[in-house]
Amino acid sequence: MLHDPMIIQDFGTYNGMVYKLYRGRFTGETPGRGFYDVPYEIVAPVDPPRRADGSDCVFIEIPHFDVGTSGRSAALFEEGFTHATIGYSLLGKRALGSTVIANQGMPLPNPLDFYYWEQFTDRQILVDFVNSLKEEPLGMRFEYFYGYGTSDAANALNLLLKDENNLDLFNLSFPVIATSRLRENERGEDQGKVMVINAEADFEPVDGDPAESPNYRWYDIPGGSHIPGVPLTTPISWVPFLHALFVAGHKWAKHGIEPPPSQHLEVIRGQIQRDEMGNALGGIRHPALVMEEARFIARGPIAWIFGTYDYVRAVGEPGYKYDTYERYGRAWKAAVRALKDSKLLLGEDMLPYFGIKAPWTYTQIYNRKDWSASEMPARFDVPARPIPLPRCQPPRSPRDRHSARELARRRQALLASTGNPAADLQ
């Protein structure tokens, strides 16, 4: 049961629409866990105009155990969307504060074990909450219900979509960088439209996945790490592509406009196929990949959730295909516009990609310790010379190309021999 909010406070004004934050309690009982009493949060416009395309849509975000909610954005609210979330577990920020979930079993001995908290997690609460939003709570009426989760929250969303008992729960679902894979043949029937978005770091190479399905799209970002925007990690971010794909997904669910076709990484016999630089083939190609500026490694040496990069190329260097910055600049802008024309990049997200300045490539500008890629380049006062990373001829034999141990050995030897500032990556 969704109780009346205990707290109502101003949240801001977006595109002339006044938003309020509603906090309250949601109670009920599930067969597996018993009684629950959990908090909910709803951010909604007070009186959205009919012209606002998202005024009849609710964006339901499953909270992440460490981040909580990350989907509350100005872009969402400027279109009149409502954002809703709920606590469904005692683990970290999944709880949204004070959460009570009855435990019917014996606890495991190690409370630091991630799976220990599954005893205090009840995904049926998510189902109950979505269904309660369909009953016009708090005087709010919605026609379209979108499910969203990233990382472990995307895993929870995937489990809901695999359960045929949860028919017609969402009109559209966005499992993003899920560490557990949702394949088309695992979905329950009548689960609405689904757009799976994964970085290469979260990609599970499987042969035979369908390239297209009437209500299913699947997009991979080669070179992308699980967590983008960390300095000195890979400059390939999936966030701008997510922005564009959400817009495309909304038009798909509400207006019947087909989104871009699925973009898979190329897989043969369970192996991701790679070019001579070692970059994954297929998927949504970041302009830096198109330009062959470096080798972009989705899982880095520090932790698998952070990527890295090496073999950085410079305009005019021997062997690089762009001998002048004029040629490089034309090709770079063409690659950016191609993404926009394919509905994979929004116009407002194009500006940072046009900020590069001679003689530096995008990857060289990124290679600065004081730049966070999550902010994108706000300024371009580059140093007198870019911080170099080791460059050499990449391995060309199939055995070398797919041997992570050999590549790591060569990279370590290069760093040790050059005394490169990038050694702190190790």
What confidence tens digit (pLDDT) does each residue in 85-96 have?
999 988 888 888
Residue with tokens 């300045």: 357
pLDDT of amino acid 409: 53
Query: What percent of the chain has a predicted confidence (pLDDT) above 90?
Result: 46
Of the pLDDT bands very low, low, confident and very high (cuts 50, 70, 90), residue 259 is very high
Which of 13-17, 255-259, 346-350 is predicted with the least confidence, judged by mean pLDDT? 346-350
Kindly report whether the peptide bond that precedes residue 395 is cis, defined as omega within 30 degrees of 0.
no
Residue 387 has pLDDT above 70, yes or no: no
Residues in Cβ contact with 243 at an 8 Å cutoff, skipping those fewer than 6 apart: 75, 346, 349
Burial class (CB in 10 A: 0-12, 13-18, 19+), 397: exposed
Q: What is the third-level CATH fold of 7-191? A: Rossmann fold (3.40.50)
Interval 370-397 mean pLDDT: 35
pLDDT of amino acid 413: 53
Of the pLDDT bands very low, low, confident and very high (cuts 50, 70, 90), residue 380 is very low
Are the C-beta atoms of residues 222 and 236 closer than 8 Å to each other?
yes
Interval 70-75 mean pLDDT: 89
Mean pLDDT across the chain: 80
Residue 298 has pLDDT above 60, yes or no: yes
Which of 94-103, 159-168, 406-415 is predicted with the least confidence, judged by mean pLDDT? 406-415
DSSP output for 249-306:
HHHHHHH----PPPBPBPEETTEE-B-TTSPBPBSS--HHHHTT-SEEESS-SS-TTS
DSSP 374: T
pLDDT of amino acid 117: 66
Which of 86-100, 181-195, 282-296 is predicted with the least confidence, judged by mean pLDDT? 181-195
pLDDT of amino acid 368: 58
Residue 109 has pLDDT above 90, yes or no: no
Residues in Cβ contact with 226 at an 8 Å cutoff, skipping those fewer than 6 apart: 151, 177, 179, 199, 201, 202, 304, 305, 306
Which of 77-86, 146-155, 359-368 is predicted with the least confidence, judged by mean pLDDT? 359-368
Residue 21 tokens read as: 């934050």
Rg over CA atoms, the chain: 23
| d(C-alpha 84, C-alpha 148), whole Å | 10
In terms of pLDDT, which residue wins out, 83 or 270? 83
In terms of pLDDT, which residue wins out, 111 or 419? 111
What confidence tens digit (pLDDT) does each residue in 206-252 have?
665 554 578 889 999 999 999 887 777 888 999 999 999 999 999 99
| d(C-alpha 375, C-alpha 261), whole Å | 28
Residue 303 has pLDDT above 60, yes or no: yes
Helix ranges (DSSP H) in 171-302: 239-255, 287-290
Of the pLDDT bands very low, low, confident and very high (cuts 50, 70, 90), residue 325 is very high
| d(C-alpha 121, C-alpha 273), whole Å | 38
Which of 29-38, 39-48, 285-294, 347-356 is predicted with the least confidence, judged by mean pLDDT? 347-356
Of the pLDDT bands very low, low, confident and very high (cuts 50, 70, 90), residue 412 is low
Give the three-state DSSP class for 203. Answer: coil
Q: Map out the domains of the chain as residue ranges.
A: 7-191, 273-425
Give the three-state DSSP class for 348. Answer: helix
Residue 389 has pLDDT above 50, yes or no: no
Residue 56 has pLDDT above 80, yes or no: yes
Of the pLDDT bands very low, low, confident and very high (cuts 50, 70, 90), residue 365 is confident
Are the C-beta atoms of residues 244 and 349 closer than 8 Å to each other?
yes
pLDDT of amino acid 157: 93
Interval 316-334 mean pLDDT: 92
Residue 252 tokens read as: 């798909």
